[in-house]
Structures are given as structure tokens and as C-alpha cells.
Amino acid sequence: MSDRSLPSHARVVIVGGGIMGCGLAYHLTQLGWSDVVLLEKAELTSGSTWHAAGQITHSTSSISLGKCVDYNIGLYSGGLEAETGQPVTWHGCGSLRLAYTADEMDWLAHTLSVGRALGFNIDLVDPAFIAGLHPFYNLDGVMGALHTPDDGHVDPSNVTMALAAGARARGARIIRRCRATNIIQMATGEWRVETERGPITCEHVVNAGGTYARQMGDWSGLQLPMTSMTHHYFVTDPVPEFASLERELPVIRDDKKVSGYIRMEQNRGLIGIYEKENPNSVWHDHCPWEAENELFAPDYDRVMPWLAESLNRMPVLADLGISRVVHGAISHPPDGNPLIGPAPGARNYWCCCGTQIGIGWGPGLTRELARWMVHGAADISMRDFDPRRFGSYATKEWQVEKAHEDYCLRHEIPFPHFNRQAGRPVKPSPLYERLKAKGAVFEEVYGWERPRWFARGSVEQRDQYGFRRTPVQDIVSDEVRAVRERVGLIDISAFTKVEVAGPDAAALLERLCANRLPRRPGGIALTHMLNRRGRIELEATVTRLAADRFYLVCAAFFEQRLLDHLAYAQDVYGMCTDIILRSNSHAALALNGPRAREVLAKCTDADLSNAGFRWMSMREITVAGHPAMAFRMSYAGELGWELHMENAAALNVYDALSETGKPHGIRDYGSFAMNTLRMEKAFKGASELTNEVTLAEADVLRFARSPHAYLGRQPPQTALPWICAYLEIDPDGIHDGHGGEAVLYKGKPVGSTTSITYSPTVDKILAFAYLKPIAAAPGTDLSVLIAGQPRPARVRADPAHDPDNTHPRTDAP
């Protein structure tokens, strides 16, 4: 069949022939799916891809993106060209990320700690070293740089053509000049892709439409949040000083002064600017179908302060003319991360879009998407990229505002816990105003406003950023102590809450849960659900409300993932249940601490004794005159109850508990303290329980007691590639770590941290880390690279707090 004829059916149809679509075709065919058709409305690369500057760097503090980038550098610097014979024009010139301030130096030191875990060739270098590598850069005020010598840049069109050639050689059909005009799901579950040249049906459809992806999503009723931001780079006339160079200069990333990048483009200079204010977006309602290799007129006014500074930094470019301006569109999602994975609620519709760094991240991300489609799970944690991390609150207007914010942050320091403020609050809980008045500093999670901590004394009610410990740590430590010693109250309304009901409800959950379901009404079980590949999809608590009714609670950002998982199982096992979302109608509070029983007893007639209210059970009680489901369980590891109630009751219940708690020294606490409390108890969270690992690797097999053949159930693993270990690290009072740091055994990297926090209860830093088994036995001495420096650490056998778990079960009043 020629490249021009359209088949009537294919296993996969990919719409979009940029680097993302071609990358996916390449990797799907590599995994053996050859019945792949890629449709491109114009020529390959004619969207955003052709005009990209083509840089790629190891400078990232994301473990998942780091793995992608590393794979891509390998592919670009040898593998792809060798395989396909198509030149990709790789320039392995390395790069330097400059620092002018102590905060920037801290950022680079953290990036170094993560890069070491990934085995990158990466170092912190001083100004003398920089001057040696790059004699033309004005280093006034520069304190140091991150040097990543394996970085470079590539010709984006050539790379995309090479990926397409690889895919074609393995059977994929790439059909150019064929625009998809509609995508609809048929009653059979298959997808019908309508095109200018007729329809094509397929099992899987992929939206790789770049700046068109959002409007393509509209066809199928999907709200895919992304906005086309426009970005400039400038190419100068030839630079006489470059003529005698024996090697190419490294790419400079100057986040502070230039807010962008400067590199050589053959014998010319290339300057890219991400302006930090007044950014520009286009095509809010509609990206014109006829657009092809589209560029916009330059807008010098917008970028001038940074462009002028770039010439000050590179004086050899200052007197040269600009020979070419590239001002093109890039898709920015609300949080800057791409949309890679299943579309919300649409089985076998895959997103491969929203990628603002398509050349840097693309092949690695599309390899993972191909694995997800073929094997049922990716190999790296996709939590940050899963399109289902956004809900219906991500409206068109909201996401434009967020994309503008994201663009301006591109060259800002990515401080730990950076709290993006645009478009908020979008989903305040019923307690939002009350908690704000009490000093809450909120974070946004799946649209919800969740308190992080509560301002007190001289600490202002606003985020404080730094890679070093800030005064907020004292507040968080106080909140932790209040829960451990007295009693604390936290708004946990953001949790996902779903009811599953009907004659098939128990059978459905037995097919999904690795743990035994509670037998009696009121029983609670903590369980994991797995994907087809036997890796963790999510963790949830399942409470039996009746023989045929269950109440499921999981992390806020897994709402759609849980709904999709339940819907998938209904389909596959032919079961019929009612799945009722309670997240928006029900608020929730958690009351924790040794005085929790005394406080709650003042607001209810219910018997709260151990005999009357068993640990890990739920009862429907009345609190402050309102019906509530009370769950006796505690993520903090203390005596405690979670109270779930209709939204209208939440404020009264909260006020009553706060009032009766006063004589007991009750304290509001937030998610930062909650994280420390769970780490002190060695409870794993979403950073540990990912699609990257099995139950055995996460060391949670004790929760897999189901006698049933549940989805993803695996035979016992004989050898583990890694295991989740619990570490205690010596604190220095300054750097407490931020996750992703390299863990060293006998001086060699053996893994990386996932969660890490300072514990005021034991005055240690506590961490979870995935380690090679040789380094994971309790008692093993290790070191953890925090802020670039090795810090003594050891593997703990037991939780740092209450190892016998007596506190939550206490019968004390």
C-alpha cells in the first residue's frame, strides 16, 4: 500500500506528525505493534517541531524526566542515526547552567544530587572553569555553574524524519496531507477517525496534534488543558570570533539575566528568550487548520530587556545584525508537564501532547507511552505526566492563565514546593475561608485548596522559598508536636471519595484489590490496586458500608485514575455497579492525637471506647448535630478519627471540634506536618507507590492478602531489582533534602530517595529510597547526597515513631 492510500482499519491511529507522533510510531513498532497509521495534515514536522532550537540537557531535578532525557541523548548521539541511516546532526557541545545567587547555587547542588542518582556526567564548576570552556561570556557576578558535558543540540526535523524512517521500516504507515476531521468512539469501543480522505477505524487512537491537540480533544468531548504560547529565538550574523574556534562552545543557560539560552548556530550566535512578564499566547479558541510552518512577526518590545542583557553577556554578538528570527508556538499545559497517557474517561484514547520540550523529552516520553499502550504500564513513574491529573475545573479560561504563569516560570528557580498562584482558588473546600482567616497557607491539589501550614508569631502567612531550611520548618515542627503530644485537626476534604454499590460491587472490588475486602459492614481495609503489568496503580482505603456498598478513599490527584480503573474492570469482567463520586459533595476532617477521644466525645454521644469503636472500623455517628461517617484510622499514627460529612455540615463540625479542643491545646495542621507524621510512622505515600514498582519492590506485600485472582496478581518475585528502604539521615540543621537525591553505598550510587523530611520527633531526616537490595538491609550504613554533599545515613528496620503501633489503639480516655 502506498503512502497516499488510507487503510480502512488499523490497530493504532496516531494523529500528528511532529516529534511526539513520530516518536510514538517509532517506539510502538519497536515493541512489535506494526499495524500503526500516522496521519499528518501537512508535512512531517510542519507544526512546532521544525522550528525548535533543538537543545537537550541533563540539567533536571525530575527523576522521571531525567531518565527520558538520558535515553534521548543516547539516541541522538548515536543510536538513531546508526539504525536508520538518517543523519540527525547531533552537536555534543555540552552545556553550562549559570548561577548568580546562593539560591541558584543551591538549586544546582540539588540538581547535581539527583543527576548523580541517575549516573549522569554532571558537575558543579567555578567561574575559572567556565571561562576556560567559554571565553566569550561575561561572567560578572557569576558564582558557578552546573556543567553537563554530554548535552547538546540536534536538528529537530532530521530527528523526526529518522524516527519516522525507523517506524516505517518496521511497518508503520505514515500518511501525509491527510487531515483528521473528527474522532468518535463507536458502540464497539473502537475509534473512528474521520479524515479528508475518508474514515479509518482503530482500536487505539492517539492525539499527537501539538498546538491542535486541545481542539482535537473537543471532538471527543475531552477537555485537554494546554495553551499555545509563543516563544522567540534570534540568530545573528556570522561571528568573526567563532571562525578560529576548534570546538563548539557549550550551550549557556542563563536563567537569571537572560531568562533563556545562548549557543552557537554554526558560525552564528543563537539567543532564545523566555520573557518573565507579559507573555503572549495565540489560538485560544481555534488553531487554524491551514497553518503550516507558521511563524509570527517578531515582537522585540516584549523580549527587549532580556535580549539587551544577552548582548551584554555575549559582547561578541552585540554589534552584529539579526539574520533570522524564529517566533513560534509551543503547547504549555497548566503545570508545564506534558500530557502523556490515557485521556480521562475515554478508553484507548491516548494523549501524546502538551509537550513544551518536545526535542528534549519527546523520544523518552513516547517510549514510555508505547510501553503503557502495549504492556499496560510504563516503566517510569508517569504520575506527573498523566493527563488525568486535571479535572473538569481546568476550563479553557483557567488553563490559559496557568499557561501564562508556566511560561514566565520557565527560567525561574524551581524552588521546592513552589506554589503556583494563578487561577486560584478554583475548588475551595467549605472550610477555605475559615482556615484562611486562621493563617492557612494553601496549596492546590487536583484543584482543591489544601492547607500546608498555619502562620503563627513572626512567620507571615505566605510561602517562603529556599533549598535550605526556612522558618516554616519551626511551624511545621510545632504542628507535628501538637499532634504527637496533644491533638490536631486537618482539612482533608481534597481526598478522592467514591462509592461503589450494587449486587456486583464486592465481586468487582475483589477483582481489583490486592488485600482482603472487609467482611463486616464498618470494616476498613488498606489496599493497593495494580495495573495489568502487576505494578501499583493506586493505594486506597476500602470501607464496607453494607453487603453491596463500599466507600473508597484515595489521594486527590488519583480521582480520575480510580474512576477509569473501576470502569475498565466493569467492562473487562462484565460487571455492573453504580460508581458514585462523593469528592465534591462530601468534606472531610481528621482529628489526631492522644486527646482526640476527649475532644470528639464532647461533640458526639457515640461510644468512642475501644470496645465500642474498634480500630480500623467505621461507624455512622452524629457530630455537633450532623450525621458523619467516622473512620477510626490515622495516617498520623496516633489515636484518631476521620470524619466525612456532607459539605453543608463541615463548618459546624469544624467549629465544634476547634472549640471543644481548646482546653486540650488543639492545633490546626496542614499537609507539611501530615507528611512528616506519616514519614515518622514509615507509611508509604504516592511518591513510593507508583506504576514503576510491584508490591514486593514497594515492600507492601503484607497488604496483599486477597485469596482472589485480582488484576495484576503476580507469582512471587524471585529477585528484586530494587526495594523501598526506610532511611535515617543525620541532619545538619540547614539542608533537609527534597527528594530524588542519590543514595551511595560504599561510595557508589545504589538508588535515590523518593520522600524525605526532617522529623522533629526524633531529630533526624527520614527518607524512603528505592535501593539495590545489597544496600537495603536494615542497619546498612549509607550516605545520601544532600545539596551535593554526602551525609551519613542508615537503613532503619522500624518506624521512627511508635514502632509497636500502640498509640492509635490506645484505650486511654
Ligand X SMILES: Cc1cc2nc3c(=O)[nH]c(=O)nc-3n(C[C@H](O)[C@H](O)[C@H](O)COP(=O)(O)OP(=O)(O)OC[C@H]3O[C@@H](n4cnc5c(N)ncnc54)[C@H](O)[C@@H]3O)c2cc1C
Residues forming the site for ligand X (CB under 6 A): 15-21, 39-42, 46-49, 51-55, 179-180, 208-212, 216, 231, 233, 326, 328, 330, 353, 355-360
Q: Enter the C-alpha cell of residue 471.
A: 522558618
Q: How many residues comprise the chain?
A: 813
Beta strands in 547-607 (DSSP E): 549-554, 578-581, 586-592
Backbone angles phi, psi at 42, to 5 degrees: -130, -120
Q: Enter the C-alpha cell of residue 423.
A: 487561577
> Shortest gap between Cβ of 311 and ligand X (angstroms)?
19
Q: Enter the C-alpha cell of residue 813.
A: 480516655
> Would you give the DSSP letter of residue 119?
T
Report d(CA 534, CA 712) in Å as an integer: 4
- Measured from the CB atom, the residue of 37 and 725 that comes closer to ligand X is 37
> Shortest gap between Cβ of 212 and ligand X (angstroms)?
3
Measured CA angle at 500 (ends 494, 505), to 5 deg: 150
- Measured from the CB atom, the residue of 50 and 613 that comes closer to ligand X is 50
Report d(CA 332, CA 336) in Å as an integer: 6
Neighbouring-strand partners of residue 445: 448
- Measured from the CB atom, the residue of 382 and 480 that comes closer to ligand X is 382
> Shortest gap between Cβ of 270 and ligand X (angstroms)?
10
- Measured from the CB atom, the residue of 210 and 594 that comes closer to ligand X is 210
- Measured from the CB atom, the residue of 8 and 718 that comes closer to ligand X is 8
Q: How far apart are the first and last CA of the chain?
A: 79
Report d(CA 664, CA 594) in Å as an integer: 10
- Measured from the CB atom, the residue of 370 and 540 that comes closer to ligand X is 370
- Measured from the CB atom, the residue of 369 and 618 that comes closer to ligand X is 369
- Measured from the CB atom, the residue of 327 and 667 that comes closer to ligand X is 327
> Shortest gap between Cβ of 180 and ligand X (angstroms)?
4
SS3 294: coil
> Shortest gap between Cβ of 31 and ligand X (angstroms)?
20
- Measured from the CB atom, the residue of 159 and 711 that comes closer to ligand X is 159
- Measured from the CB atom, the residue of 356 and 753 that comes closer to ligand X is 356
> Shortest gap between Cβ of 272 and ligand X (angstroms)?
6
Candidates 158, 203, 141; CA nearest to 14 is: 203
Report d(CA 536, CA 561) in Å as an integer: 12
> Shortest gap between Cβ of 87 and ligand X (angstroms)?
18
Beta strands in 45-156 (DSSP E): 55-56, 95-99, 123-125, 144-148, 152-153
> Shortest gap between Cβ of 396 and ligand X (angstroms)?
18
Report d(CA 22, CA 29) in Å as an integer: 11
- Measured from the CB atom, the residue of 17 and 250 that comes closer to ligand X is 17
What pairing do the DSSP bridges indicate for beta strands 640-646 and 626-631? Answer: antiparallel
Residue 305 CA, distance from chain mean position: 33
- Measured from the CB atom, the residue of 356 and 761 that comes closer to ligand X is 356
Report d(CA 179, CA 7) in Å as an integer: 14
- Measured from the CB atom, the residue of 46 and 752 that comes closer to ligand X is 46
Buried b (16+ CB within 10 A) or exposed e, 529-554: bbbebbbbbbbbbbbbbeebbbbbbb
> Shortest gap between Cβ of 255 and ligand X (angstroms)?
15
Candidates 364, 445, 380; CA nearest to 690 is: 380
Report d(CA 477, CA 761) in Å as an integer: 8
> Shortest gap between Cβ of 44 and ligand X (angstroms)?
7
> Shortest gap between Cβ of 221 and ligand X (angstroms)?
16
Candidates 422, 472, 481; CA nearest to 451 is: 472
> Shortest gap between Cβ of 42 and ligand X (angstroms)?
5
> Shortest gap between Cβ of 36 and ligand X (angstroms)?
15
- Measured from the CB atom, the residue of 234 and 446 that comes closer to ligand X is 234
> Shortest gap between Cβ of 366 and ligand X (angstroms)?
9
Report d(CA 369, CA 343) in Å as an integer: 12
Report d(CA 66, CA 352) in Å as an integer: 18
> Shortest gap between Cβ of 409 and ligand X (angstroms)?
16
- Measured from the CB atom, the residue of 168 and 619 that comes closer to ligand X is 168
- Measured from the CB atom, the residue of 273 and 566 that comes closer to ligand X is 273
> Shortest gap between Cβ of 91 and ligand X (angstroms)?
12
330 contacts 49 by C-beta, under 8 angstroms:
no
Q: Residues with Cβ < 8 Å from 780, sequence gap 6 or more?
A: 745, 794, 795
Report d(CA 770, CA 107) in Å as an integer: 23
Q: Enter the C-alpha cell of residue 350.
A: 491516548
Backbone angles phi, psi at 493, to 5 degrees: -60, -25
What pairing do the DSSP bridges indicate for beta strands 198-207 and 349-353? Answer: parallel
> Shortest gap between Cβ of 160 and ligand X (angstroms)?
8
- Measured from the CB atom, the residue of 357 and 380 that comes closer to ligand X is 357
Report d(CA 31, CA 476) in Å as an integer: 48
134 contacts 142 by C-beta, under 8 angstroms:
no
H/E element, 308: helix 300-313
SS3 133: helix
Candidates 46, 47, 55, 49; CA nearest to 265 is: 55
